[in-house]
Amino acid sequence: NPIVDGRRFPDVRRPAAAARGAGGATGLEGEIAALRRASQATSRTFRAGIAALREFRDADPFFVAVDPFDPVEAAEAPPIYVRPGEVEQEGVGPMNGRLVELRFSDGDTDELRSAYRDHVEAVDRWVGRLIDEVPDDVLVFVLGDTGYALGDHSFIGRGTPTSHRASYEIPYLIRHPSGEKGGDDVDWYASTHDVAPTLLSHLGVTIPGKMRGEDLMALFDDVDDEDLPRRPYSITASGSLIMVRDRRYLMVADREQIERRLYDDDEEVEDDITRYQDVANESPGTLTEMSAAALAVAGGTLPEFGTDGALRPPRERGDDDVDDDGIPNDFDAVDDDELDDGDGAEARKFDGRDPGDRAPARKRP
């Protein structure tokens, strides 16, 4: 992570295996190795977490966080493998150089799927052992990391920009000390932004005003999810992409290349559109609303990232909506109201896909 390099962070130490390029193997072998490293990290970290719980068992109050992760990812972002041609077909953005073309068949992923199953089972075992050590009167918050593509929809890796909404969903569980609402689920778009306010509330600490997340402890005080502040969209990011979804649609937008895809997940609608077909041109109004939702949550300006982290200050731009069509320039394929200004037909599509300007995926060496 280049953001924590240099003299400002003298205490930061990297594991020996986490030097750049330490991932070693690439392609399917690299992904299998990463899963096995993650399983080892799970075992190592959860053992330490269990030891900490035993140490603080009689302390009141205490806070213990257990966060297993692949140490290599602290130094280098994991690649995302994609079948050749998929970038051009889907209009996938550059993902900050993480996209790598890889030819693979369904049979090639058998060992990868086996390694993934082994990892999930290892995590399940260690979570169970950890929970066995947690006193009954302690709040437990369990979060997952990110979805993992195993060759489905032409992608392999973590944080892949697929049309499959399950790729952007994670486990999100809260166990109340008294067992309140045990077994219930909530049909509300909770976010990682809600974790800190919820924990601070439970600990009796004042929630800073600048925290925009919600206090989910209210759900244990007979507040229904319908009474929580309205949150019609789930918004997340992966690399340079922004993903916005509601109950029906999923939008995947490239922050840098201004390419947008929209998927309709309503299978009850009587039409010929499949849930994996880009309908950006057919539903420009929905596309604009979801684009604006991402901007609103970000405070009017989406963050921009380069190879070394966030760009500060961001790139300078002119008027936010030159042609006053309600679509911000950052999400508008054509920024003026003249159709004969040199933009070709491809550039005038609402999703902004222009193959000539699109950064291709890297070729696997």
Task: List, for residues 320-332, the tens digit of each pLDDT value.
Answer: 666 555 556 665 6
How much is the pTM? 0.74
Q: What's the pLDDT score for residue 119?
A: 95
> Among 14-23, 147-156, 184-193, which is the least confidently predicted range?
14-23
Residues 6+ apart with CB under 8 A from 320: 328, 329, 330
> Among 33-42, 201-210, 222-231, 292-301, which is the least confidently predicted range?
292-301
Q: What's the pLDDT score for residue 20?
A: 39
Q: What's the pLDDT score for residue 351?
A: 43
Instruction: For residue range 181-203, list pLDDT tens digits in order.
Output: 889 999 899 999 999 999 999 98
**How far is 267 from 274, CA to CA, in rounded Å?**
8
> Among 17-21, 100-104, 325-329, which is the least confidently predicted range?
17-21
**How far is 262 from 294, CA to CA, in rounded Å?**
14
**How far is 77 from 344, CA to CA, in rounded Å?**
35
- Asked if pLDDT for residue 352 goes beyond 50, the answer is no
Instruction: Report the share of the chain in percent with pLDDT over 70.
Output: 71
Categorize the per-residue pLDDT at 300 as very low, low, confident or very high, splitting at 50, 70 and 90: confident
CB count in 10 Å sphere of residue 56: 15
- Asked if pLDDT for residue 11 goes beyond 50, the answer is yes
Q: What's the pLDDT score for residue 348?
A: 47
pLDDT, mean of residues 153-159: 87
**Residues paired with 254 in a beta bridge:** 241
pLDDT, mean of residues 218-227: 89
Phi-psi region of 236 (alpha: psi -120 to 50; beta: other; left: phi over 0): beta
- Asked if pLDDT for residue 15 goes beyond 60, the answer is no
- Asked if pLDDT for residue 336 goes beyond 60, the answer is no
Categorize the per-residue pLDDT at 342 as very low, low, confident or very high, splitting at 50, 70 and 90: very low
pLDDT, mean of residues 115-132: 95
Which range in 84-98, 246-260, 338-352 is most confidently predicted, on average pLDDT?
Answer: 246-260
Instruction: Match 């696997």 to its residue by tokens.
Output: 364
Q: Alpha carbon of 41 to those of 166, 307, 320: distances in Å? A: 25, 27, 45
> Among 117-121, 200-204, 308-312, which is the least confidently predicted range?
308-312
Cα 95 to chain centroid, rounded: 12
Categorize the per-residue pLDDT at 147 as very low, low, confident or very high, splitting at 50, 70 and 90: confident
